[in-house]
Homo-oligomer: A and B are copies of this chain.
Amino acid sequence: MNLPPLTQSFVLHFGEMGSRWGISRTVGQIYALLFLAEEPLNADDITEKLGFSRSNVSMGLKELTSWRLVKLQHKPGDRREYFSTPDDIWEIVRILAEERRKREIDPTLSMLRQALVETPATLGERHAQERMAEMHGLIELITRWSEDIQKLETETLIQLLEVGSKVQKVFEMKDRLKVVTGGKLRRRPRTEGQ
């Protein structure tokens, strides 16, 4: 490995983190390196800097491409492919969220929906089905919310995150003041939570 110190500790860290997630250590390192790089890198650059085999780098880039986490571009007069990450780090978050939804959430939701339309044979299965319904509801709620806020401008999204739960205060105020908002914020009939 042939990297300046700050870069190296970042790359090593994300290698380890990567292997706690689904991706392999080397894929994590490749992404970390690209994330920090000033300029797009080609596969040989990466091979040289990280010190593993050319074919491994090729596989890693293929995987990152399938996640849409790297962009491919060409330099004029150079046949090699250059890879980079989005400049806007929030774009990376968006893409990750979308891909994880596609790969993990959607299959889970469809498994749950399938289970929910079956007729439970026993009392235990009835209870299991209720638990699955709870989980289905939770996942749908979080997914919808996440899709919804991902459409916001980065600046707006940041604002929203910054106020966090204080936004709740605004709700209360709104209710108090009976401000009309075109029905979009209409309060649902209150159901007693568990």
Residues of A bordering B, CB below 8 Å: 4-7, 9-10, 13, 17, 20-22, 35-36, 38, 87-90, 93, 104, 107-108, 111-112, 114-115, 118, 120-125, 127-129, 131-132, 134-135, 138, 141-142, 144-145, 148-149, 151-156, 158-171, 173-174, 177, 179, 181, 184-185, 187-188, 193-194
Contact = CB atoms under 8 A, between A and B. Distances in A.
Nearest to A138: B89
Contacts of A122: 4
Contacts of A104: 17, 20
A8 B55 CA distance: 40
Contacts of A13: 107-108, 111
B148 A165 contact: yes
A194 B167 CA distance: 25
A51 B152 CA distance: 48
Contact of A36 (B90, B131, B188): B131
Report copies per complex: 2
A185 B163 contact: yes
A100 to B, nearest CB: 10
A141 B159 contact: no
Contact of A194 (B87, B129, B188): B87
A127 B38 contact: yes
28 contacts: A5-B125, A6-B129, A7-B125, A9-B111, A17-B108, A35-B135, A36-B128, A36-B132, A89-B131, A89-B135, A141-B158, A144-B164, A145-B161, A145-B162, A148-B164, A149-B165, A151-B165, A152-B165, A154-B193, A154-B194, A160-B165, A162-B188, A167-B167, A170-B171, A170-B174, A170-B181, A170-B185, A173-B174
